[in-house]
A and B are shown apart, each in its own frame.
Chain A
Amino acid sequence: MGQLAGTVGLPLTSARARRQKPLTFWLGRLLLYVVLLTLSLLFVLPFIWMISTSLKDDPQVYHAPPIWFPSPRLWSNYPGALSQQPFGRFFINTLWYALPATVGTIISCAIPAYGFARFRWKGRDLLFYICLGTMMIPFQVQMIPLFITFKKLGWINTYLPLVVPAFFGNAYFIFLLRQFFMTIPLELSDAARIDGCGEFGILWRVILPLARPALAVVGLFTFMSAWNDYLGPLIYLNNVKLYPVALGLQQLRANYHAAGQRLVWPYLMAASTVVIAPILVLYFFTQRTFIEGITVTGIKG
């Protein structure tokens, strides 16, 4: 019964055992690969469809059976789509609030996490559990009063509502960093303390350098969530000039509806590809961090 051994966690093979494997084992292996490849194809299909459509000439879209490999490939759809709306501006806008939000989150989560993790004080655990409890509050409960407050402050149509809260901590990441900080040996803190370091000094000189992987996870997730955010910008931004890519992409579609025109799918797909691309690139370069980050939260959670 070796074929799906890994699925049921059997200890796997020595060279000798491998040679003695029955045919059923290899057939099982084959089946596994076939299933995995089929599923992979299914998962990737939406992306293939997206890119394929983005290279079509508009009439080719209305064809049955669907054309998977258009020829000629209309690369001009990309500049065409991106010029329908000021996408360059949208990209810069997104960075304009995603980067400060990322920096703010890292700072404002590392400091409380240190307080919750590295020394005992009365009320620490109570406050920490309250902090965790806030994770259960749906955004919709805070959404309306926040909107009204920001409106009264005149912050609507600026990036302030999207950036300022990031500087005040985030329960999820405080939790993550606290768990991580707790894994750093106490001896290191003690040694620094003996050398006359104050708590902030310990945080800055000892803990933070060691916590770089965890900080990277926080930064990455925050940036990604800011890039993908739709509801936030939707509520707080009315001026198209301020739109991030998420709203900009939707605006592309909305414009066709508003003008009573048929949707130009190649343009929509090209724009979608461009909006997705930076995330894919980012993922490609930071795979380990991503996977570790999710794993840590899932296991410790």
Chain B
Amino acid sequence: MAMTAHTARPQPWRRELRLTLKGLVFSFPWLLGFLFFTIYPVGASLYYSLTRYDVLRPPRFVWFENYIDLFSGDPLFGTVIRNTLYMVIVGVPIALVAAFLLASLLNNKILGRPFFRTIFFVPSIVPAVAVAMVWLWIYNTQWGMINSTLASWGLLAIPFLSDPSLAKPSLIIISCWAQGGSIVIFLAALQDVPRSLYEAALVDGASAFRRFRHVTIPMCTPSILFVMITDLIGTFQSFTLPWLLTEGGPNSATELYGLYLYRNAFRFFKMGYASALAWILFLVIVAFTALVFRSSARWVYYGGQVE
């Protein structure tokens, strides 16, 4: 940290250097972390992805074999990609719409809004392990909450987690239940929409539905974008809930990317292979995020929040 002598001559570059050093000192905790816990692992995993590495023996450089194996030799990889894309392309919009609609309901002048808000929010802060345990029991094919009720009415049970075609939708249902964070964000955004816009729309004779579609939704698009991107990134990486509920079954119907990666790394100890998987995931996430951002210029409306 340089201490400049107090001189009458202007030495702007000295001052700037001093400020930059000060800035770096403040950034130090993060900079060190960036080097050790971001740069190094990211680089190392790129290197590992080009090796065969089972931790016991030193890594063996194999160039792009892992990547080639993934795309041509691995029968499960295609399934994993399909499953994960399904959860992202189908699951994220469904959850988002559900959250937005719930927030819209809460945005009315109702008694006990904090009460309702709490009920919708709490599921999202509950530990995933507990969520898995409870829903495992709710979905239980023979004695679960839903199926034992159906049985007592003489109806057939719904094999939520044991039928390959029902497993992913069952996961989506749980994710809709746990959208509390998004609901709170949307609620705040909804409350920020200027009343004057609604009044103007009303003067123009707009119906409630049209007001919702042409005033409410457009004014909330920044928050919608934020939730969409964070949900997207989170869904691509999701691990805990599917792992604990189905462990990838039935018949790999819920073998999502996060699970497959974990399995390869910590069950099969194919660290190189798993690193290749990780890098592909990284690139896919970046690509999707960039795509969504690009498209956002067309449908997101900023401004109008100043007043």
Q: Which residues of A contact B (CB under 8 A)?
A: 1, 4-12, 32-33, 35-36, 39-40, 43-47, 49-50, 53, 61-66, 107-109, 111-112, 114-116, 119-124, 127, 130-131, 134, 136-149, 151, 165, 167-169, 171, 174, 199, 224, 227-228, 230-231, 235, 245-247, 249-250, 253, 265, 268-269, 271-272, 275-276, 279-280, 283, 287, 290-291, 294-295, 297-299, 301
**A124, B23: Cβ atoms closer than 8 Å:** yes
User: Which B63-116 residues have a C-beta within 8 angstroms of A?
Assistant: 102, 104-110, 114, 116
Supposing A228-B128, A279-B127 touch, asked if A146 and B149 sit within 8 A by C-beta, the answer is no
22 contacts between A and B (CB under 8 A): A5-B109, A6-B107, A6-B108, A49-B134, A49-B145, A50-B137, A109-B30, A111-B28, A119-B19, A136-B289, A138-B233, A138-B237, A141-B41, A141-B42, A144-B48, A145-B45, A147-B265, A231-B262, A253-B133, A268-B133, A294-B184, A298-B184
The 0/1 profile, CB within 8 Å of A marked 1, for residues 192-219 of chain B is 1101011100100001100110011000
| Beta-carbon contact of B16 and A63 below 8 Å | no
Cβ–Cβ contact B138 & A32, under 8 A: no
Instruction: Give the most central of A5, A144, A146: most B CB within 10 Å.
Output: A144
B62 is an interface residue with CB less than 8 A from chain A: no
Q: B156 in the interface, Cβ–Cβ < 8 Å?
A: no
- What distance in Å separates the Cβ of A39 from its nearest Cβ neighbour in chain B? 7
Choose from B24, B48, B126, B195 the contact partner of A145 (Cβ within 8 Å): B48
User: Chain A contacts of B151 at CB under 8 A?
Assistant: 64-65
- Other than the given A43-B120, A120-B19, A145-B275, 20 more pairs (CB < 8 A) read A9-B107, A10-B211, A32-B110, A49-B138, A66-B149, A112-B28, A112-B29, A112-B31, A121-B22, A134-B34, A138-B285, A168-B30, A168-B33, A168-B36, A174-B30, A228-B129, A230-B244, A265-B137, A275-B130, A294-B185
- CB-nearest residue of chain A to B23: A121
List the one stretch of B158-166, B276-284, B296-304 in contact with chain A: B276-284
Residues on A with C-beta less than 8 A from B121 are 290-291
B133 in contact with A269 (CB, 8 Å): yes
Determine whether the beta carbon of B215 is less than 8 Å from that of A299.
Answer: no
Residues 128-164 of chain B: 1 if any A CB is under 8 Å from the residue's CB, otherwise 0?
A: 1110011101100011010011011100000000000
Which chain B residues border A228 with CB–CB below 8 Å?
Answer: 125-129
Residues of B within 8 A of A (CB): 16, 19-20, 22-34, 36-38, 40-42, 44-45, 48, 55, 102, 104-110, 114, 116-123, 125-130, 133-135, 137-138, 142-143, 145, 148-149, 151-153, 177, 181, 184-186, 188-190, 192-193, 195, 197-199, 202, 207-208, 211-212, 215-216, 223, 226-227, 230, 233, 236-237, 239-240, 244, 258, 261-262, 265-266, 271, 274-275, 277-279, 281-282, 285-286, 289
Contact B137 A121 (CB under 8 A): no
> CA–CA, A122 to B13, complex, Å?
11
In the complex with contacts A36-B105, A272-B130, A136-B45 CB distance below 8 A: no
- Cβ-defined partner of A283 (8 Å) among B25, B104, B122, B128: B122
**Closest chain B CB from A299 CB (angstroms):** 6
Q: Which residues of A contact B109 (CB under 8 A)?
A: 5-6, 12
* A35 pairs with B105, CB closer than 8 A: yes
Bound form: Cα–Cα A292–B25 in Å: 30
Are A7 and B105 touching (Cβ within 8 A)? Answer: yes
Chain B residue at minimum C-beta to C-beta distance from A228: B127
Residue pair B285, A119 in contact (C-beta under 8 Å): no
Residues of B within 8 A of A276 (CB): 126-127, 130
Residues from chain B with a CB closer than 8 A to the CB of A10 are 195, 198-199, 202, 211
B195 touches A275 (CB 8 A): no
Interchain CB contact under 8 A, A231 and B152: no
Q: Would you call B29 and A230 a contact (CB within 8 A)?
A: no
Give the interface centre of A61, A169, A246 by most chain B CB atoms within 10 Å: A169
A46 and B123 contacting across the interface, CB-CB below 8 Å: yes
> How far does the alpha carbon of A165 sit from the alpha carbon of B152 in the complex, in Å?
53
- Docked complex Cα distance between A145 and B36 (Å): 11
Smallest beta-carbon distance B242→chain A, Å: 12
B26, A114: Cβ atoms closer than 8 Å: yes
Q: In the complex, are the beta carbons of B45 and A144 less than 8 A apart?
A: yes
Bound-state Cα–Cα, A39 to B75, Å:
42
In the complex, the chain B residue whose C-beta lies closest to that of A51 is B134
B278 close to A144 (CB less than 8 A): yes
Report B-chain residues with C-beta under 8 Å of the C-beta of A138: 233, 236-237, 278, 281-282, 285
Is B137 a contact partner of A268 (Cβ separation < 8 A)? yes
Q: Report the minimum CB–CB distance from A229 to chain B (whole Å).
A: 9
Is there contact, CB below 8 Å, between A9 and B282? no
Question: Which A residues are in CB contact (< 8 Å) with B181?
Answer: 294
Instruction: Tell whether A9 pairs with B193 under 8 Å between CB atoms, given A143-B278, A249-B129.
Output: yes
Residues in A whose Cβ lies below 8 Å from that of B44: 145, 148-149
In the complex, chain B residues whose CB is within 8 Å of the CB of A4: 108, 208
Looking at the assembled complex, report how far the CB atom of A9 sits from the nearest CB atom of chain B, in whole angstroms.
4
Kindly provide the distance from the CB of B219 to the nearest chain A CB, expressed in whole angstroms: 9
Contact A168 B29 (CB under 8 A): yes
- A230 — nearest CB in chain B belongs to which residue? B240
B22, A32: Cβ atoms under 8 Å? Answer: no
Are A7 and B104 in contact, with the CB atoms below 8 A?
yes
**Given A144-B274, A272-B130: A46 in contact with B37 (beta carbons within 8 A):** no
Bound form: Cα–Cα A231–B27 in Å: 28
- Chain B residues within 8 Å of A287, by CB: 114, 118
Is B32 a contact of A168 with CB atoms below 8 Å?
yes
Question: A134 — which chain B residues lie within 8 A by C-beta?
Answer: 34, 38
A8→B281 contact, CB < 8 A: no
